């Protein structure tokens, strides 16, 4: 038996479903279907005509501000995967057409950062890759070309940042098309030895400060005038690769820790000095990362370097490169000022869990 449906909240008389009610229901269903089609059409038009950043912003605003609606009204193709893809597309759009300088690009974090930039904006990008080993830089350039094609122009450039005279003339020695630098990644750095005072070699002290501190500052001063010529007081990104060592000094690393603490102080002061501009000053501090870095620390003894990572799963250079590119790919008004990156087994400079 069909139960009556009250249309008046229970205060009036009951009525049965009638032909008129069924027709009304059918009309509402047709309107709902039409609304769904219009909604989907609108999103397709957005996808075709709107810049990627605006698509993503529209999606986010819709998710935050709209009241819940029946699932039939939600475009089925708007999935988390699509949103992630549009986010990546927005980042690619922000980096497209830029000129990026990466120091220490022949290996480790620098090499991976160069490759990650190329992958993110493969259609129109200029990369200036610097290091002391030109032949290795040429190998990196060939690898990038093989992976992404001719959309990324790569200039391998021999440069020792520890030599002020080389850095001083760096920009003027660049080909004209590479001089309008937009992003400087100060990655070049090293550590030598684990000696403790008073047994630290003077040569090691000098090379660490010359590379990690003076080299970074001199590169910044060489490129900064280019940034400051632009509108709104200046525009560009300075991304300094620091270290957990600059936050937490440890025994056997007093000089290296001192250099990275200096990088942190310089970075924070520079950010304040440039506050009235659109120049973003960013620091990325890795924790334990497996690179050739430890081999240099132990003067080429790979067995000692391998022992550092035994029982651990350290970060990879690619992990840090992704963070660097992410920071450079934010909206102009967004500054990832400072970030510390650990592997899951690390909680401090000397706080690591090793599997036995």
The catalytic residue positions are: 256, 260
Report CA dihedral (73, 76, 78, 84) to the nearest 10 degrees.
Answer: 150
Distances (CA, A) of 110 to 125, 249, 325, 339: 17, 24, 11, 17
Q: Which residues contact 87 (CB under 8 A, 6 or more apart)?
A: 56
Backbone angles phi, psi at 66, to 5 degrees: -75, 145
| C-alpha–C-alpha distance, residues 167 and 130, integer Å | 11
The Cα–Cα gap between 252 and 255 comes to: 8
The CA distance from 273 to 277, in Å, is 9
Nearest to 130 by CA among 152, 84, 162: 162
Contact between 184 and 237 (Cβ < 8 Å): yes
Q: Please calculate the CA angle 101-105-111 and round it to the nearest 5 degrees.
A: 115
Please report the beta strands in 115-255, taking only residues with DSSP state E, as ranges in sequence order.
Answer: 125-131, 152-158, 183-186, 235-241
């Amino acid at each position: 038996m069909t139960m009556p449906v009250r249309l008046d909240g229970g205060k009036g008389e009951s009525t049965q479903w009638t032909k008129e009610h069924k027709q009304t229901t059918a009309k509402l269903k047709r309107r709902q279907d039409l609304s769904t089609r219009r909604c989907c059409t609108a999103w397709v038009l957005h996808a075709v005509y709107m810049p990627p950043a605006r698509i993503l912003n529209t999606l986010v605003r819709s998710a935050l501000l709209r009241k819940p609606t029946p699932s039939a009204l939600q475009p089925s193709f708007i999935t988390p995967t699509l949103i992630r893809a549009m986010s990546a597309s927005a980042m690619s759009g922000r980096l497209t057409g830029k000129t990026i300088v990466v120091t220490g690009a022949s290996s480790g974090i620098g090499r991976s950062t160069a490759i990650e930039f190329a992958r993110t904006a493969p259609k129109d990008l200029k990369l200036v890759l610097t290091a002391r080993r030109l032949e290795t830089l040429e190998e990196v350039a060939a690898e990038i070309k093989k992976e992404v094609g001719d959309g990324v122009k790569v200039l391998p450039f021999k440069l020792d940042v520890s030599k002020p005279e080389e850095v001083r003339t760096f920009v003027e020695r660049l080909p004209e098309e590479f001089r309008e630098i937009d992003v400087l990644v100060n990655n070049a750095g090293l550590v030598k030895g684990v000696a403790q005072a008073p047994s630290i070699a003077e040569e090691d002290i000098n090379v660490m400060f010359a590379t990690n501190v003076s080299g970074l500052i001199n590169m910044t001063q060489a490129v900064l005038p280019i940034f400051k010529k632009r509108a709104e007081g200046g525009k560009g990104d300075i991304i300094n690769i620091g270290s957990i060592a600059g936050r937490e000094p440890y025994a056997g690393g007093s000089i290296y820790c001192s250099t990275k603490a200096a990088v942190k102080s310089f970075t924070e002061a520079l950010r304040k000095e440039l506050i009235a501009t659109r120049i973003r000053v960013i620091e990325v501090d890795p924790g334990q990362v497996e690179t050739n870095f430890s081999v240099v620390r132990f003067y080429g003894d790979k067995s000692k370097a391998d022992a550092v990572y035994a029982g651990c799963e350290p970060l990879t250079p690619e992990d840090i490169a992704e963070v660097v590119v992410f920071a450079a790919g934010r909206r102009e008004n967004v500054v990832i000022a400072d970030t510390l990156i650990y592997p899951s087994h690390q909680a401090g400079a000397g706080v690591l869990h090793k599997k036995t």
